[in-house]
Amino acid sequence: MYEVVEPLIELKDVAKSYGKNQVLNNISLKVAKGEVIVLIGPSGCGKSTLLRCLNGLEEIQGGSVLFRNEDLTAKNTDWKKIRQQVGMVFQSYHLFPHMTVMENILLGPTKVQKRTKEEALQQAEALLQRVGLSDKKNAYPRQLSGGQQQRIAIVRALMMNPVVMLFDEVTAALDPEMVKEVLDVMLSLAKEGMTMMIVTHEMSFARAIADRVIFMDSGHICEIGEPQTFFTSPQTPRAQQFLKQFIHNSYN
Ligand SMILES: Nc1ncnc2c1ncn2[C@@H]1O[C@H](COP(=O)(O)OP(=O)(O)OP(=O)(O)O)[C@@H](O)[C@H]1O
Ligand SMILES: [Mg+2]
pTM: 0.95
- Cα-Cα-Cα-Cα torsion 106, 107, 108, 111, nearest 10 degrees, comes to 120
User: Of 6, 10, 5, which Cα lies nearest the Cα of 30?
Assistant: 10
**32 is a domain residue:** yes
CA angle 13, 14, 15 (to 5 degrees): 115
Nearest bound ligand to CA 220? 1
What confidence tens digit (pLDDT) does each residue in 197-206 have? Answer: 999 999 999 9
CATH of the domain at 215: 3.40.50.300
What confidence tens digit (pLDDT) does each residue in 142-194 have? Answer: 999 999 999 999 999 999 999 999 999 999 999 999 999 999 999 999 999 99
User: Of 84, 92, 117, which Cα lies nearest the Cα of 102?
Assistant: 117
For atom 8 of ligand 1, the residue with the nearest CA is 49
What confidence tens digit (pLDDT) does each residue in 39-94 have? Answer: 999 999 999 999 999 988 899 999 999 999 999 998 899 998 999 999 999 999 89
Distance 138 CA to ligand 2 centre (A): 32
Read off the pLDDT of each residue in 116-142 and give the average, rounded to a whole number. 97
What's the rounded Cα separation, in Å, for the pair 202 and 204? Answer: 6
Q: How many domains does the chain have?
A: 1
List CB-based neighbours of ion ligand 2 within 5 Å. 48
pLDDT at 232 over 60: yes
Name the residue range of residue 203's domain: 9-244
Name residues contacting ligand 1 (CB within 6 A). 18, 23, 41, 43-49
**2 is a domain residue:** no
For atom 4 of ligand 1, the residue with the nearest CA is 18
With cut-offs at 50, 70 and 90, classify the pLDDT of residue 250.
low
Q: How many CB atoms lie within 10 A of CB 73?
A: 17
What pLDDT score does 82 carry? 92
